[in-house]
């Protein structure tokens, strides 16, 4: 059966209410001038002479000189008007929970909403570097948590190449198959690592994956008190997973599960970068966005790739049938390597949920 992307309607319906972070996420970083940045409530970043970087937390060399990160003399409060121009070099902005800036010619800073209990993406990337060294990942320069502004910051090098989404229409059918097979070799590396519970690599609850875990309980009547906050789940055992699936879908897990495997969680075409090697052959140069990674049921990997809209190619550039082709190639390669799929099970769960307004308690701090 071919994959069929389906909407998420029915699992969760919340009134439209979008309180922002304080200050809003798009103001997490501001340019103070050509070579100087304000970063959250506690950091400054600037280009300096190498000898002037002695009090820096970290430094890096870029094509235009030496850059350093250091603490500001007086931390800002959440009610302080963020200094600087936040529109300068902001390369990405997603709603009220995430944004990214180009700080120096080859270094980005990714800013995400954070609450206690969430494992920062940088920690997951460091774990992957140590445990799955063959998987290409971004190089992290430095990362930190800013509790006052409730967000995480991660300085990383710009990854080489272009997104799979941008490159896809340039690839032959054989090249597309080869890329899907290469991604699956990385997935196989991931799933060698197991856990008795659904959790992150640091042992905390994972975020997102509402398809099988449901949504966190609203903190106020009718809506999230802070909708930028991720759905942070408690650590989940196989028994608890079955309980949640029964409440959400009316069905137990499609396979008996006694352990969970490590998985990236969102191998969408915008999260995979491709580049050409010295022989002019396309290859995977980096896999980014590890914030939803964790230990999950193995059956979920191929199943979610076949039904989740995130796996679609850009619909502005592709007709519907063509937009499905990444999901088709990936799920086909996963099938060749023995990964099961339960698309009909998930389609039935989404279209016929017995309790569409089921919420689960957030983990206590």
Asked if the model's pLDDT at residue 15 lies above 50, the reply is: no
- Type and span of the H or E element at 45: strand 43-48
Confidence of residue 345 (pLDDT cuts 50, 70, 90): confident
Choose among 11, 8, 68, 76: nearest CA to 41: 76
* Size of the chain in residues: 365
DSSP 8-class letter at 161: S
Confidence of residue 217 (pLDDT cuts 50, 70, 90): low
> How many Å from the N-terminal Cα to the C-terminal Cα in the chain?
44
CA–centroid distance for 343 within its chain: 23
Helix axes 298-307, 343-351, angle to 10 degrees: 70
How far apart, in whole angstroms, are the C-alpha atoms of residue 123 and residue 125?
5
Strand, helix or coil for residue 33:
strand
Could you check whether the bond before residue 187 is cis, i.e. omega within 30 degrees of 0? no
Asked if the model's pLDDT at residue 18 lies above 50, the reply is: no
- Type and span of the H or E element at 287: strand 282-287
Confidence of residue 14 (pLDDT cuts 50, 70, 90): very low
DSSP 8-class letter at 211: H
- Type and span of the H or E element at 104: strand 98-104
Could you check whether the bond before residue 23 is cis, i.e. omega within 30 degrees of 0? yes
Mean pLDDT of all residues in the chain? 86
Strand, helix or coil for residue 283:
strand
276 within 8 A of 308, measured Cβ to Cβ: no
Asked if the model's pLDDT at residue 320 lies above 90, the reply is: no
pLDDT digits (tens, 9 = 90+) for 161-215: 999 999 999 999 999 999 999 999 999 999 999 999 999 999 999 988 877 777 6
């Amino acid at each position: 059966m071919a994959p069929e992307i389906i909407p998420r309607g029915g699992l969760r319906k919340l009134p439209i209410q979008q309180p922002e972070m304080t200050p809003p996420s798009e103001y997490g970083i501001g340019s103070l001038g050509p070579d100087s940045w304000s970063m959250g409530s506690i950091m400054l970043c600037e280009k300096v002479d190498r000898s002037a970087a002695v009090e820096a937390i970290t430094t890096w060399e870029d094509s235009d000189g030496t850059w350093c990160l250091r603490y500001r003399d007086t931390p800002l409060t959440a009610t302080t008007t963020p200094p600087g121009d936040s529109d300068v070099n902001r390369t990405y902005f997603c709603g009220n929970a995430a944004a990214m800036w180009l700080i120096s010619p080859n270094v980005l800073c990714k800013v995400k909403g954070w609450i206690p209990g969430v494992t920062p993406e940088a920690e997951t990337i460091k774990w992957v570097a140590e445990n799955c060294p063959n998987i290409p990942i971004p190089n992290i320069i430095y990362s930190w948590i800013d509790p006052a502004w409730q967000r995480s910051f991660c300085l990383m090098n710009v990854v080489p190449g272009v997104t799979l989404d941008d490159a896809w229409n340039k690839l032959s059918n054989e090249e597309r198959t080869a890329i899907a097979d290469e991604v699956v070799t990385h997935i196989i590396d991931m799933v060698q690592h197991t856990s008795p519970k659904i959790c992150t690599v640091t042992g905390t609850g994972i975020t997102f994956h509402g398809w099988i875990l449901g949504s966190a309980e609203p903190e106020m009547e009718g809506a999230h008190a802070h909708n930028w906050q991720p759905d942070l789940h408690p650590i989940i055992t196989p028994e608890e997973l079955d309980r949640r699936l029964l409440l959400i879908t009316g069905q137990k897990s499609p396979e008996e599960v006694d352990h969970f495997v490590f998985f990236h969680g969102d191998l969408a075409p915008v999260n995979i970068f491709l580049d050409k090697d010295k022989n002019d052959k396309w290859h995977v140069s980096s896999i980014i966005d590890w914030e939803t990674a964790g230990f999950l049921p193995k059956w979920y990997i191929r199943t979610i790739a076949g039904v989740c809209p995130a796996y679609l190619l850009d619909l502005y550039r592709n007709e519907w049938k063509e937009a499905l082709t990444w999901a088709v190639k990936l799920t086909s390669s996963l099938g060749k390597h023995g990964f099961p799929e339960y698309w009909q099970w998930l389609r039935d769960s989404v279209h016929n949920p017995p309790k569409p307004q089921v919420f689960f308690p957030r983990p206590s701090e």
